Each structure stands twice: as C-alpha cells, then as structure tokens.
A and B are shown apart, each in its own frame.
Chain A
C-alpha cells in the first residue's frame, strides 16, 4: 500500500489527531473528553498511519518504546496522586493552581489534569503497543 498520497494523508491525519486529542484531553474537565477519549483518538491516528506505513515506521516515529510510554503514564498518574501530600493534604486530593489569568482563558491547571494526562499516556501506550505487536506478527508491512 505504498501510495504517496495515502502516506501524506496519513501523516496529516496523525498530526491532526494528535492535536485534536490533546485539545480533547485538556478541555475534558469541563466538556466531553478526557484522558481515555484522548488516548483512543491518538491511537486511531496511529492505527491509520500504521496501516499505510507499516509498524516499523510507527516505531521510528515514536522514538521511545510503547512500554516506556505506558510506564511514563503510570508514573505521571501516581505522581499526580502523591503531589497533594507535599501540600500537607491527604493523597488523592485535588490541588489547583489559582490564577486569574489562566482562569480568564478558561484553563484550570491542577493535579486532576495531570492525572488525566497520565491516563492519556497509558491509554495511548497500551493501544499502540497492541497495534504494533499485532502488526509485527501478521507482517503488516
């Protein structure tokens, strides 16, 4: 399936999907979206990319292994849950950065958002890992 147009489209699609998923992730706290959905959206981008370009290209595009991606996500989640301890709160409490400037732009930053990012990374990593493994074995190249 080496088709120049398809390859270009797949690249464009991937970029759009990644940007879109980050957007979905960040607005997830107030509108439909969040880490799970964002992660799956990114995966669809990679699937499309992978179907057209093969798994090797996906791997070289990623630079880090999917296992590392998942690990990073899990660590991010755990860190987000532990951060409140340093503020003298119980773990798992949400800690927010109070800023009028950000609030006026409709952006709230806090540990729940960080945790959501962790979810995003894990979900992305999990599905990428599964896709790449399956592609490797069925020799989808």
Chain B
C-alpha cells in the first residue's frame, strides 16, 4: 500500500512541474482561475503524504529505486521518512493555501502566467528537494529554489527595489549553493555514494575525517545563507519586496527553512563534528536575538514579520546546534509551529493591504469591524507566535526552553538570549494586536476600501485554516508524536520516544515562561519609548554593514570589472588579432626551444612535379600581388587566381568533388564580391609605413611558423587513418562508389546536418541584416 502511495509522488511532482511550465499557456483559457486549478497539485500531494504518514510508523523509512538517472550515481529517487514528511506536509499544505490566496491577490497583476510558472516550479523544487534520496538531486533542487525565488522576489521588475532585493538574495543564496555543491561532492567522495539512505545505513560518521572541517564549513555557509542567519540575514527583510503570497511562502515553509532541513538531513553523518555545537549555537543565538530585537523597531507589517522569521530561524539553528534529542525535537516542533503562524500572519498582512491599501501599523486601527474572521485567525496566530497556551506555539516554546535549560555548560548564555528573544516576541505580538485590532478611540485608522465580505472565500481561507490547525494541534499534540519520532530517528538520534503534551506540570520551564510573558507585557506597555530607541539603533547598525555595504561591494566589483574589461577590450580589431598571432607564435617558439629544433624528414616525400610547381609559383605571385595591389578589382581577381590554383591542386591529387566545389564556390564569391565592391569606396592608404613594416614582420613569421608546423605535423600519425574502413565499406554497406559523397551523406551524416544548419543560419543572418535595411530605406522613401 505504501509502495503504491509513494509511486504517486514523482508523478504528482512531475505533473506540478509540467503544469508550472505550461502555466503561461494555461493562463489564456483559465485566466484568473489558474491559481485555483494549480492548487490541486499541492493538495493532492498533501493528501498522499497524509495517507503515507501512518504507514511509516515511528521507525521506518521508505526508499524507492531510482526512476530517472541523470548520470552515473546522480539519480532521482525518493526517500520518505519522518523528516521529509514533516517538511513535505508543510510545503504542500501551505503551498495549497498560497495558490488559493494568489488566485485573488494577484488578480490585478500583469504576467500572471509567469508568476504561476515561477511559483509552481518553486513549490515543485522544494517538494522534490525534501524527498530526494540523492545528495546531488538535493543540490539541484536547492539551486532551482534559489533561482525561482530570485525570479519571484524580483517579480515587480519594473521597480528598482525588488530588483535590488532579488539580486541580493540570489547572490547570497548562490554562494551557499556553490559551497553546498562542494560539500556534496566531498561527502560523495568519502562515502562512495551520493544516496542519503546508503550513507545513513552505513553508519558513516564524518566527524573524525580529516576533511570534516572543510565539509562542515561548506555546509555551514550553505545553511547560513539560505536560512538568513547572522551575518547573512539581511537579504530576507529585503525579500519582502516580493508579492505577499511569495513572501508568505518563502518565510513560512520553504526557502529559508531549506537550510534547517539540510542541517537535519546531514546531522546523522556529520553531527558529531566538534565545531557543530559551538558554531551553530552562536550563529543561531545571535540571529535569534537580533531578529526579535530588530522587529520591535519596524512599522511596516511585513518587515516586522520578516524580522521575526529571522529570529525563529535562529532559534531552530541554535536548537540543532545544542544537539540533544530534546533540542532537535524542539526544533522540529518549532518548525511546524512557525510555518503555521508565519504563513497565516503574512497572508493576513496581504489581506489588510488589500482591504486598506497600507501595511504601516501606525496608520492602521480598528480592523476588527471589517475583517472579523481574519481578526480571529490573526489573534490565534499571534498567540502562537507569543508562545501562549492553548496554541501549538506554547508547546514549541516550552520545548525550546526545556532544551535550553537542560543544556549542560552553556545554558547561562543560551537561556538569556532565548528569553530575551521571546520577550520581544510577546511584546511584538501584543503590539500588532493592539495597533491593528484593539478597539481604539484615540487612533483613527485608514478607512476600508474593501471588507472581508467582498473577498471570495478562498482569499482568507489560508489564514483561518492555518490558525485553526495550530489550535487543534495545540490541544491534541499527540497527533504529531509518531511523525516527530520518525523524523528524530532519521536525524540521528537514539532517544525517539516522543510524547507531546500541553501541560508539563509546575517546573522551572513554566516559571521562565511566566517571567517571559510578564516581561513582554512590560515591554509592550513602554513600547512608545522602546521602539524609537530600537529603530535608531537599527539605523546605526545599518550604517555599520548590511545591505548598503553589500550593495557597495557589488558596485565596486562591477566598476573594477568594467575598468579591466575596458583595458583588455580596447576595440581595435587588428590589435586583438596581433595579440593572438604573437602569443601563438611565442608558444610555438617556446615549445621548439625546449624540445629542440625539429628534424624535418625528407625521406618518404613524394616526387616534385614540375607542372604543380609552376602552378604554385603562379598562385604565390597572385597572392602577393593581391596583397600589394592598389585597385579593388585587381585584388579580387588575384584572389580568384589563388582560389582556382588551390582547386587545381585538389584536382591533381584526385579530389574531384572537392575541386568542383572549390571552382564553383570561387566563382560565386567573386561575383558577389564584384557586385558589392562597386558600392564601396576605393582603397585608401590607412596605415603608416611603420605599422606596415611591423605587420609584415608578424605576417612573415606567422607564415614561417605555419610551414614548420605543417611539415612536422605531416609525419605525425597518432591513429591509423579510418579511411581504409570507408574504402572497404563504402560500396558493400552504403551502396556508393563515390567514397567522399558516401562519407558526407551516410557515414558522417550528423556532421553534414550540422553544417547545413550553420549555412542556413548564415543565410538567415544575411537576410536579417539586409532586410532590416531595406525596410528602413522604404520608410525613408515614403517620407520623402
């Protein structure tokens, strides 16, 4: 049963890719319903995964055979275990709502077909990534998510800011992608396979390996960039320039969480490295605190949410860094919690934007009137974000605290950072609630443009259902037990008995929670004093580094590149050629110098034939004449003589077809030359005497070099000529007595096909060049 179920996955994923690629075409017939249509795919995937989950139990993984192989060792196969299922469920579930949401949100946008193309490709790549059983496939999909997210963030490419943000995110995540590739290759070399299941089953531990440091650094950079960790975190707030459905999706279940997924994926075999704990804890801890702290200083709703995402990601990285089974369990639960509330909240930001036209929290107030359902859902999501019961967020936060408290040695550092971050989270949740929804008399908000009733059902559906799911899971967390245990097992933990519950009894953790909430409320009350302080701090911080410095560095780089290009690409045609000839000659000269002067063998040469000699003398004279001739026509005729001379040489040595072709081609070319030449000016003396002398020396030495090379090469026969095969098979197998023609149309037909294609392209080029001109001329005539 599970085998059959899993067989649907690649099918559905490919369908999703295919429909994504077809989206621009499908947009015509389906129009604005396209989003609804495409939403079917993630929904089906979600259902399949949901059915698959109980089959897996708490300790088994399903691995399929490869169904498509890109190259030796790089194949696409599915690995379904708790980890990929957890991520897959979130990606497909939230993806479903995002597509529904986009169907309304993107209504007024142009190029919707392209939008759905990028979004579905992104979704498909993300799904495929978490289910890949091959590290190379994982890398490929990882890169696809980087590229599609670049396109999505920069979707409003007529504006400067989204373009900049998109470029920034691409440059940073591409750096991570590159290092991931290095890491994957290194791991593959050590393990002898790229298949994750084989690596895990072999019980390989890379921590003691001499290259472990390198691998770890590569993976670390990949994770820090993708998951927007300090010091690479700055691309994420910029990425909210994307249309809201995209930000919502990027922040909640995909993209930035890919880093978390990667960490958990490689944890079984490299988690024992000695730097794992310290580095991840420090990076995650700093990010967690900074993100939460900075979010307090923002006024744009989406920006606030972006910073809280950074904080949440920091929390997850830090938890993985703590590296106990408790902490990883906490990280997994926290991922689910975060995906649910963040997806809902971002969609809420979009809904508010649509209904009022602004996202500035200082200008919004009393939204409950127009958006009752959204308000209810948002309140639930905010409770989850603040980590209060009865939402799933409470359980997540309790687990996080528990992991931190139980951490031996370092809890004095980690705990204050975590508590600080959570205080900020509580405060920010309260702030959003108070500013947007709490009935206020003092503040006059912007009036509604649309109320909830004017939206179709599928627009606020995501926010509401995600919030409701958070509530259900918070009340019945046991639903997650098995899948989390399974995920834990396959992220390299032995203690897999997971029992989630909402009530842990009175203990240290609960005490800290209460403390957090109280402090959060205090910060909230004094928010009008705290917020300007933080925002001025952020401004000071921004000057120190972050986007501007990054953009500056890129600008500098481009400038330096432009300057050096200008120096190399000076635009003088003959100096390019001169460089080329001189370098080639120097290389040949060096080679001759080191290998000694070549001895030219004079034995085995064919006899000198006087008539050919005479022909050569005439042709040579014609060539020299063409070079020094002052008239155009004489030069062309002299060139023709050279060409015919070459043709005669072919004829003398038995190449009949060749000779005919040469004669005909020569004739046509001369006719064309003459036709064009009369429309062109006469030769002028353009070069000075000195430059002529210099060119003459270069030309003569080039000629001498070619003579030497030809004489040497003439006697090098590395392989037996294949011609004897052609001579033997030409009539027997190809029914042709003209061996040259048989080679052209039968033995080497593919070459010939390529050659006639090249010819066609040349002709099309001429056609384009001239016909554009003709059109201009015609227009000119009309105007006169």
A and B bind: yes
A73-B760, A134-B672 known; 20 other A-B pairs, CB under 8 Å? A29-B741, A34-B740, A36-B744, A37-B657, A40-B661, A40-B664, A41-B664, A70-B760, A112-B742, A115-B752, A119-B756, A123-B756, A125-B763, A126-B762, A127-B668, A129-B766, A133-B766, A133-B767, A136-B771, A138-B678
Q: A28-B738, A112-B742 are in contact. Are A37 and B767 (CB under 8 A)?
A: no
Nearest CB in chain B to that of A98: its residue? B735
Contact between A70 and B664, CB atoms less than 8 A apart: no
Instruction: List B residues 750-772 near A (Cβ within 8 Å).
Output: 750, 752-753, 756-757, 759-760, 762-764, 766-767, 769-771
Q: A29-B736, A29-B738, A32-B656 are in contact. Are A129 and B767 (CB under 8 A)?
A: yes
Q: A74-B757, A129-B766 are in contact. Are A138 and B679 (CB under 8 A)?
A: yes
In the assembly, what is the distance between CA of A114 and CA of B668, in Å? 26
Q: Chain A contacts of B679 at CB under 8 A?
A: 138
Nearest CB in chain A to that of B741: its residue? A34
| Interface pairs (26), CB distance under 8 Å | A28-B738, A30-B737, A32-B660, A36-B661, A36-B744, A37-B660, A40-B668, A70-B763, A81-B749, A81-B750, A112-B749, A115-B745, A115-B746, A116-B745, A122-B759, A122-B760, A126-B760, A126-B762, A127-B668, A129-B767, A130-B766, A131-B672, A133-B769, A136-B770, A138-B675, A138-B678
Instruction: List A residues 46-71 near B (Cβ within 8 Å).
Output: 47, 51, 66-67, 70-71
In the assembly, what is the distance between CA of A96 and CA of B760, in Å? 28
B22 shortest CB reach to chain A, Å:
26
Instruction: List A residues 78-127 near B (Cβ within 8 Å).
Output: 78, 81, 92, 94, 96, 108, 110, 112-113, 115-116, 118-119, 122-123, 125-127
In the assembly, what is the distance between CA of A115 and CA of B755, in Å? 13
Q: Chain B contacts of A119 at CB under 8 A?
A: 744-745, 752, 756
B767 shortest CB reach to chain A, Å:
6
Contact between A47 and B749, CB atoms less than 8 A apart: no
Nearest CB in chain A to that of B735: its residue? A108
Contact between A34 and B738, CB atoms less than 8 A apart: yes
Q: Chain B contacts of A122 at CB under 8 A?
A: 756, 759-760
Residue A3 at the chain B interface, CB threshold 8 Å: no
Contact between B770 and A73, CB atoms less than 8 A apart: no
Nearest CB in chain A to that of B679: its residue? A138
Residue B15 at the chain A interface, CB threshold 8 Å: no
In the assembly, what is the distance between CA of A118 and CA of B759, in Å? 13
A23 shortest CB reach to chain B, Å:
13
Q: Pick the contact of B749 from A34, A92, A108, A138 — CB < 8 Å?
A: A92
B88 shortest CB reach to chain A, Å:
40
Q: Pick the contact of A130 from B656, B744, B763, B774 — CB < 8 Å?
A: B763
Contact between B735 and A110, CB atoms less than 8 A apart: yes
A130 shortest CB reach to chain B, Å:
5
Q: A66-B763, A81-B753, A118-B756 are in contact. Are A112 and B745 (CB under 8 A)?
A: yes
Residue B1 at the chain A interface, CB threshold 8 Å: no
B643 shortest CB reach to chain A, Å:
14
B768 shortest CB reach to chain A, Å:
9
The size bracket of the interface on A is 35 or more
Q: A36-B661, A44-B668, A122-B760 are in contact. Are A140 and B675 (CB under 8 A)?
A: yes
In the assembly, what is the distance between CA of A112 and CA of B770, in Å? 35
A56 shortest CB reach to chain B, Å:
12
Contact between B763 and A126, CB atoms less than 8 A apart: yes
Contact between A33 and B756, CB atoms less than 8 A apart: no
Q: Chain B contacts of A66 at CB under 8 A?
A: 763, 767
Nearest CB in chain A to that of B656: its residue? A32
In the assembly, what is the distance between CA of A95 and CA of B757, in Å? 23
In the assembly, what is the distance between CA of A51 and CA of B668, in Å? 12
Q: Chain A contacts of B518 at CB under 8 A?
A: none
Residue A135 at the chain B interface, CB threshold 8 Å: yes
In the assembly, what is the distance between CA of A115 and CA of B746, in Å? 8
In the assembly, what is the distance between CA of A30 and CA of B731, in Å? 9
Q: Chain B contacts of A44 at CB under 8 A?
A: 664, 667-668
Q: Chain B contacts of A108 at CB under 8 A?
A: 735-736
Contact between A136 and B774, CB atoms less than 8 A apart: yes
Contact between A31 and B737, CB atoms less than 8 A apart: yes
Q: Chain A contacts of B676 at CB under 8 A?
A: 134, 138
Contact between B675 and A29, CB atoms less than 8 A apart: no
Contact between B759 and A123, CB atoms less than 8 A apart: yes
Residue A137 at the chain B interface, CB threshold 8 Å: yes
Contact between B735 and A47, CB atoms less than 8 A apart: no
In the assembly, what is the distance between CA of A81 and CA of B753, in Å? 9
Q: A40-B664, A40-B668, A135-B675 are in contact. Are A33 and B741 (CB under 8 A)?
A: yes
In the assembly, what is the distance between CA of A113 and CA of B771, in Å? 34
B532 shortest CB reach to chain A, Å:
69
In the assembly, what is the distance between CA of A140 and CA of B750, in Å? 38
In the assembly, what is the distance between CA of A94 and CA of B767, in Å? 34
Residue A43 at the chain B interface, CB threshold 8 Å: yes
Nearest CB in chain B to that of A110: its residue? B735
Nearest CB in chain A to that of B748: its residue? A92
A46 shortest CB reach to chain B, Å:
10
Q: Chain A contacts of B734 at CB under 8 A?
A: 94, 112
Q: Chain B contacts of A136 at CB under 8 A?
A: 770-771, 774
Contact between B737 and A67, CB atoms less than 8 A apart: no
Residue B682 at the chain A interface, CB threshold 8 Å: no
Q: Chain A contacts of B774 at CB under 8 A?
A: 136-137
Residue B514 at the chain A interface, CB threshold 8 Å: no
B152 shortest CB reach to chain A, Å:
38
In the assembly, what is the distance between CA of A126 and CA of B759, in Å? 7
Nearest CB in chain A to that of B752: its residue? A119
Q: Chain B contacts of A135 at CB under 8 A?
A: 675
Q: Pick the contact of B668 from A43, A74, A140 — CB < 8 Å?
A: A43
Contact between A29 and B742, CB atoms less than 8 A apart: yes
Residue B665 at the chain A interface, CB threshold 8 Å: yes
A64 shortest CB reach to chain B, Å:
14
A11 shortest CB reach to chain B, Å:
19
B521 shortest CB reach to chain A, Å:
75
Q: Chain B contacts of A40 at CB under 8 A?
A: 661, 664-665, 668
